[in-house]
Amino acid sequence: MKYSKNFERDYEWYLKYKNIFTFDGNMNTSDKVIFSENGKSAKECFYIQDSQGKIVSTNEPELLFQLYKCKGSINFHIKMWVEGIAEGVSNINEFIVEFELLEWMIKAIENQLKKKL
């Protein structure tokens, strides 16, 4: 399967940070992971769910679960960071540097800050 540059960039980020961003507050993440020995790779399942909203079986359930958790967790953290920045206890540059945030993540923080302030 061929993936877009943006997907590849995001996927590499999720792989790198999957052991750091592990909490998203969602108890239903495991519902997206269906194991089958003949299933698709975690990467392909992640792509299909992200781009088409379909859940397909995987032969890499643990990795797929971690990817979903990481994606949900970064979105959860963005909301928390916005709160901290708005309250003056955090600095956006800290997060950008520490976690090598992607452009869409920075924009999400900036957009939520505009709404909050």
Measured CA to CA, the distance from residue 106 to residue 99 in angstroms comes to: 11
Q: What are the pLDDT digits (tens) for 21-48?
A: 999 988 888 899 999 999 999 999 999 9
pLDDT at 113 over 90: yes
Q: What are the pLDDT digits (tens) for 67-89?
A: 999 999 999 999 999 999 999 99
* pLDDT attached to residue 26: 86
DSSP 30: G
pTM equals 0.92
Measured CA to CA, the distance from residue 75 to residue 89 in angstroms comes to: 19
pLDDT at 117 over 90: no
Q: Which two tokens stand for residue 101?
A: 């945030």
Sorted by where each begins, the domain ranges of the chain are 5-116
Q: Which of 72, 115, 83, 9 is nearest to 95 (CA)?
A: 83
Exposed, middle or buried, 41 (CB in 10 Å: 0-12/13-18/19+)? Answer: middle
Measured in degrees and rounded to the nearest 5, phi and psi for residue 36 equal: -155, 135
